[in-house]
Amino acid sequence: MRSSMAEAITDAGESRAPGVRLLDEQSFRCSRALGDCFHAMIPGGAHTYAKGDDQYPEHLAPYIVRGSGCRVVDADGNEFIEYGMGLRAVSLGHAFPPVVEAAAAQMLKGSNFVRPATIEAECAEQFLSMITGAEMVKFGKNGSDATSAAVRLARAYTGRDLVAICAEHPFFSVDDWFIGSTAMAAGVPQAIRDLTVTFHYNDPASLRDLFARHPGQIACVILEIEKEIPPTPEFIRELPEICRAGGALLVLDEMITGFRWHNGGGQQYYGITPDLSTFGKAMANGFSVSALAGKKEIMELGGFRTTRDRVFLMSLTHGGETHSLAAALATMRTYQQEPVITTLWQRGERLAAAVNRSVREHRLEGFFSVTGKPGCLAYVTRDAAGRPSQEFRTLFLQETIRRGVLAPSFIVSYSHTERDIDATAERVHEALAVYRKAIEEGPGKYLTGRPVKPVFRRSS
């Protein structure tokens, strides 16, 4: 297996720059060969479902060898301007020098010890200076560590079992309390599934109704403060009030909004202070670091200075891994010293404006749209009847990948220059010309292979 993988991967040292020619299936020979190797060893062919082959057009799913800034090179030497940036984890850019240098320097001092390393306190101090509503923090390695720890803390603090999640937000954790509420609930006991209930975003009445139907039972309310749709002033105002009145903790999942909306997170952007909040993704520019932060009286249930029953709180072998914390420190300091958030928003606004011009020129209003905040853009694809369409999403991905743009979303990084944005806009314009023809003549004439599929589905 190893030899076949080695044979499949080229040096990729001489990359083929994006836009030089239209890529076709033959341009991905090595990636297609690697697909068989990956699926033979790894269930689903990837360690993250959102990166799987089923999320990309058939025969046009590149395997990445390296990246720098906003560009990546695949196993065939094809170079792409990338958006999505490691599922929103890479906000500064791939291999961003200050972050890589900080992590490398720390590695030479050792990565893990039998006692806490001083950098753990240094990183905690830096984080708490930015997330001003938080009084204590504990670090983990991924978002699920933090959100699941928040749920456990909330249950212990309130003495209740139910967890209320926002129905419109697609992902909170790999653990049973959340996965049991999805279409991939196999393996989760029904008793666990029954402990998670849902409410609707921007709908205070639905949340009040949930508390009325489950009096004294809801431990916490967990949601993202914003996804593609911004919160209404009414929702922002009433959300913490409803939680307090119902005796539940408010938990904000800031995996996405943190370090993209504001240096102090979405909570500071919207002026709301949760009881607990969770961070990750962009916090360390792609290195594995997450954080659970919150009020001292709640967080201390996982410490020694409490008279209540103690909570087993994120005790992870690699929770204090020093080079990842060094990367987080360097990332957070870059945010404080440079105009990262401002630049993300400016680049996103430039890209959205250009794509929207193309949409108008191709008469695709109602069929293709850009959504979300400028620093965290996504897009929506619809068919000729105006219905959300995986088939048309696949066609758009196919046509942008062929033109050297890897864009499962329009997530920008600090490394995307105006020149990169403008080059992307030109190729998106060409891709949307094909999209327009497919609206008029049907996608079957233009789409090669099967459509992409939702991540959460019961069967293959």
**Which of 148, 263, 277 shows the shortest CA–CA distance to 223?**
277
In a domain, 455, yes or no: no
pLDDT of residue 50: 85
Residues 31-72: tens digit of each pLDDT: 988 988 998 999 988 888 888 888 999 989 999 999 999 999
Work out the average pLDDT over 399-404: 97
Asked if residue 261 and residue 308 are part of one domain, the reply reads yes
Residues 119 and 239 in one domain: yes
Has residue 363 been placed in a domain? yes
- Of 98-102, 316-320, 390-394, 398-402, the poorest mean pLDDT is in 316-320
Give me the pLDDT at residue 318, please.
Answer: 92
pLDDT, mean of residues 253-277: 97
Q: What is the pTM of this model?
A: 0.91
Note whether 68 and 108 are same-domain residues: no
Which is it for strands 136-140 and 290-294: parallel, antiparallel or unpaired? Answer: antiparallel
Q: Cα separation of 275 and 377, whole Å?
A: 28
Last residue of a domain, one of 337, 352, 376: 337
Average pLDDT over residues 228-255: 97
Domain boundary among 337, 361, 382: 337
Q: Which of residues 24 and 404 earns the better pLDDT score? A: 404
Task: Assess whether 46 and 153 both reside in one domain.
Answer: no
Mean pLDDT of the chain: 93
Query: Is residue 8 over pLDDT 60?
Result: no
Q: Which of the residue ranges 33-42, 202-211, 220-229, 382-391 would you say has the lowest mean pLDDT?
A: 33-42
Are both 76 and 217 inside the same structural domain?
Answer: no
| pLDDT score of 65 | 96
- For residues 394 and 303, what is the distance between their CA atoms, to the nearest angstrom? 49
Check whether residue 333 and residue 195 sit in a common domain. yes
> Does any domain span residue 145?
yes
The answer to the question of residue 158 being in a domain is yes
The proportion of the chain whose per-residue pLDDT surpasses 90, expressed as a percent, equals: 85
Judge contact between 340 and 91, C-beta under 8 A. Answer: yes
333 and 371 part of one domain = no
CATH of the domain at 182: 3.40.640.10
Domain end call among 313, 337, 361: 337
Kindly tell me if the per-residue pLDDT of 3 is higher than 80.
no
Whole-number pLDDT of residue 18 = 56
Same domain, 155 and 244: yes
In a domain, 272, yes or no: yes
Q: What is the pLDDT of residue 394?
A: 96
Residue range 273-283, pLDDT digits in tens: 999 999 999 99
- My answer on whether 391 and 318 are in the same domain is no
What is the structure's pLDDT at 130? 97
Same domain, 70 and 108: no
Which pLDDT value is given to residue 2? 44
| pLDDT on residue 363 | 98
Is residue 88 included in any domain, yes or no? no
CATH number at residue 405: 3.90.1150.10
Tally of structural domains, the chain: 2
Q: Are 101 and 60 contained in the same domain?
A: no
For residue 450, being part of any structural domain is answered with no
- What are the pLDDT digits (tens) for 115-140? 999 999 999 999 999 999 899 999 99
458 occurs within a structural domain:
no
| Amino acid in the structure at residue 74 | D
80 conformational bin, left if phi > 0, alpha if psi -120 to 50, beta if neither: beta
Domain containing 60: what range? 2-82+340-445
pLDDT in tens, 331-352: 999 999 999 999 999 999 999 9
Statement to judge: residues 152 and 297 lie in one domain = yes
Q: How confident is the model at residue 13 (pLDDT cuts 50, 70, 90)?
A: very low
